[in-house]
């Protein structure tokens, strides 16, 4: 029978009429007996008890799926049922079951990814959208990403959905890519797909804002893994064009992608050619915090070449005043770290180093760094940060966690003590560079 609270078909085998059981339970609980299944979705019911997406064509007399291991096996089999109604019911029920980690792992072991990959070519847009959402949930598990990486055709079909399908399905497929790109093994498989990076660069130029934002987050991880392929596809010019976008979120993510490209020697040459050190000056004074953070992070890579240092000497006072102001932000340690690193790069130029030593040495010594008791590892106080408390070393909260290790097996794990120690070391390094003198 159909359970309105779970939006799933619970009963596997029942010797009694399911409607009789429902009526008996309702009478024992003192509820009014209603014959229509849709009456369960009464507007006065609890919002949390009503599913957000209702299963279509509810027919309690045809319900055969259950929650147990046997029911999940039947659910996996019914994904390719010749009966369209049974197939649609199986998709909706599986979307509910993958929310439970035990059932999701069992379905992954049943090779459900291979069956879902074939359903991406379905003619029904409802099935295509729900399959993308299910794959997103399965990609949250390491085993799920491994099974998805074993299906090279899946990436090609997802990219086809991102290019040609409806807006809702494009959004769901983009979010599936975003979840997969968090894993380096998946990034390796995605980068091997022909013309995938080129297609993503075309999409971000003519797509809706929300979808572009998700694709930029995916490309940031892809560019970090292999910047050579995007550089050959003119990704630098595309990201540079997004700097003029009206949405600050897109500008911030484009700068983060550009930072990954500037790690490569070709990216540094292009940064000098486009004069990014001069171009980033107004963005460092922007009202949006994310844009300032990304601009200073990009400046850390654009000021590594000799040409950029001598170019920055023309606006020494403006750059040093802005960076020194950003260094005195103890509530934002990541911004402090990036600003100090940019000053260290600029102080390689003797004229800039002399200017900083004469005017700003005392100000550098007064830079305040928070202690680990004063900082919970997040850039802002949120309800999510308050709930996690001191578990921030093992928990990962997207868009809230701000620090990660540069190397090691646990690169994504937050370590506040080592991060603050690194920030103190950078401050001491800046003071040491300011006091140094060139060889005679």
pLDDT tens per residue, range 177-227: 898 888 787 888 888 888 888 888 988 888 888 899 999 999 998 898 888
pTM of the model: 0.75
Is residue 255 pLDDT above 90, yes or no? yes
pLDDT at 79 (0 to 100): 87
CA distance linking residue 257 with residue 251, whole number of Å: 10
What residues form DSSP beta bridges with 268? none
CB atoms within 10 A of CB 85: 12
pLDDT at 13 (0 to 100): 55
What residues form DSSP beta bridges with 69? none
Q: How far apart, in Å, do the first and last CA atoms of the chain sit?
A: 88
pLDDT band at 15 (very low <50, low <70, confident <90, very high): low
Q: Are 413 and 393 spatial neighbours (Cβ–Cβ below 8 Å)?
A: yes
pLDDT band at 65 (very low <50, low <70, confident <90, very high): very low
pLDDT at 226 (0 to 100): 87
Express each pLDDT in 111-168 by its tens digit: 899 889 888 888 888 889 999 999 999 988 888 888 888 887 888 888 888 888 888 8
pLDDT at 413 (0 to 100): 46
Percent of the chain with pLDDT over 70: 76
29 Cβ contact list (under 8 Å, min separation 6): none
pLDDT band at 439 (very low <50, low <70, confident <90, very high): low
Sign of CA dihedral 94, 96, 98, 103: negative
């Amino acid at each position: 029978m159909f359970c309105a609270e779970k939006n799933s078909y619970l009963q596997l085998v029942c010797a009694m009429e399911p409607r009789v059981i429902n009526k008996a339970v309702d009478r024992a609980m003192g509820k009014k007996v209603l014959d229509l299944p849709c009456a369960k979705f009464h507007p006065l019911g609890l919002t949390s008890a009503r599913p957000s997406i209702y299963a279509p064509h509810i027919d309690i007399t045809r319900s055969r799926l259950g929650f147990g291991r046997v029911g999940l096996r039947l659910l996996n089999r019914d994904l390719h049922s010749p009966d369209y109604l049974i197939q649609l019911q199986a998709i909706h029920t599986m979307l509910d079951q993958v929310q439970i980690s035990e059932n999701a792992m069992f379905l992954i072991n049943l090779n459900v990814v291979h069956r879902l990959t074939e359903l991406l070519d379905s003619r029904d847009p409802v099935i295509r959208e729900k399959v993308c959402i299910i794959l997103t949930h399965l990609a949250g598990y390491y085993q799920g990403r491994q099974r998805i990486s074993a299906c090279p055709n899946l990436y090609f079909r997802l990219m086809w959905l991102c290019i040609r399908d409806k807006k809702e399905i494009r959004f769901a497929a983009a979010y599936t890519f975003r979840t997969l790109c968090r894993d380096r093994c998946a990034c390796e498989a995605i980068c091997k797909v022909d013309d995938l990076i080129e297609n993503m660069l075309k999409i971000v130029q003519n797509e809706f804002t929300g979808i572009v934002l998700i694709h930029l987050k995916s490309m940031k991880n892809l560019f970090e893994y292999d910047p050579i392929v995007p550089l050959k596809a003119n990704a630098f010019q595309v990201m540079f064009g997004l700097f003029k976008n009206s949405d600050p979120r897109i500008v911030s993510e484009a700068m983060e992608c550009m930072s990954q490209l500037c790690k490569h020697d070709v990216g540094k040459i292009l940064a000098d050619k486009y004069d990014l050190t001069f171009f980033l000056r107004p963005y460092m004074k922007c009202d949006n915090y994310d844009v300032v953070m990304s601009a200073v992070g990009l400046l850390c890579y654009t000021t590594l070449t000799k040409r950029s240092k001598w170019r920055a000497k023309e606006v020494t006072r403006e750059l040093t005043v802005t960076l020194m102001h950003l260094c005195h932000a103890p509530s934002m340690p990541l911004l402090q770290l990036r600003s100090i690193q940019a000053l260290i790069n600029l102080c390689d130029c003797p004229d800039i180093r002399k200017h900083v030593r004469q005017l700003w040495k005392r100000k550098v010594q007064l830079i305040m760094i928070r202690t680990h008791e004063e900082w919970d590892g997040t850039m802002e106080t949120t309800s999510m940060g308050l709930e996690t408390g001191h578990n921030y070393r093992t928990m990962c909260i997207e868009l809230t966690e701000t620090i990660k290790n540069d190397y090691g097996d646990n690169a994504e794990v937050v370590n506040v003590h080592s991060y603050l120690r690194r920030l103190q070391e950078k401050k001491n390094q800046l003071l040491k560079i300011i006091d140094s003198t060139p060889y005679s």
